Amino acid sequence: MSQGRLAGLARRLGGAVFALLVLFGVAFAGRAFLLPGFDLGPQTGIGGPFTLVDGSGTTVTEKTYAGRFLLVFFGYTFCPDVCPTDLAILGRTLDLLPPEARGRVAPLFISVDPERDTPESVSQYAKAFHPALIGLTGTPEQVAAVTRAYRAQYQRVEAQNGGVYTIDHSAYTYLMGPDGRFLAHFEHATRPETMAAVLRKVMGLPAS
């Protein structure tokens, strides 16, 4: 599904309904852009300083979100299936947390397609899935730096016959602590109930 059709569907249905459709596989079909053989390796040294731009054009860094748990996902707005699925899951995960706990979490969607994704378009795309989702992007150099810090991978794939290129990318969601320390990662299409349970545990909340 093209970005234009995606945005139109999101506007017509509203973010919440649209996210549920994606979550249950109604709105999208297509291959998953997962890199074969990719592994996080030792779970140390993940995360670190970054400089990016949010939807208002404001420069943000890791210090902007200090004191909050981070859920970090890398993707792009032209992504046909993986990104919509995982962003819908992120939105549902937030809704499963107690209202007073949601403000302690900063869910970040970082674009790996700075050539096409503007700060405004990334922000609008993310918020179509949940109003709390934060879309970020940056220069190619800034994007490369933050993906290296998180050991995320991405690779541009040129389309045949002059079509629109796609980007193969790893599809982990990283959970970082308020001190910036790596706590856990979730694979593509992890159930929101599972993610919410882990968040409750690390936040010191009782199980639901």
For residue 32, the tally of other CB atoms under 10 A from its CB is 13
185 in a known ligand binding site: no
What is the enclosing helix (H) or strand (E) of 136?
strand 134-136
Three-point CA angle 101, 50, 59, nearest 5°? 80
83 in a known ligand binding site: yes
Contact between 109 and 75 (Cβ < 8 Å)? yes
The Cα–Cα gap between 14 and 129 comes to 9
pLDDT of 44: 63
- The mean pLDDT value for 138-156 works out to 97
At position 191, the amino acid (one-letter code) is R
79 in a known ligand binding site: yes
pLDDT of 160: 85
The Cα–Cα gap between 73 and 81 comes to 14
Q: What is the pLDDT of residues 119-146, one digit of tens each?
A: 999 999 999 999 999 999 999 999 999 9
**Could you tell me the domains of the chain?**
3-202 (3.40.30.10)
- Pairing type for strands 134-136 and 154-157 reads unpaired
Q: What percent of the chain has pLDDT over 70?
A: 79
- Pairing type for strands 69-75 and 59-61 reads unpaired
pLDDT of 9: 41
Residues contacting residue 206 through CB under 8 Å, at least 6 positions apart: 200
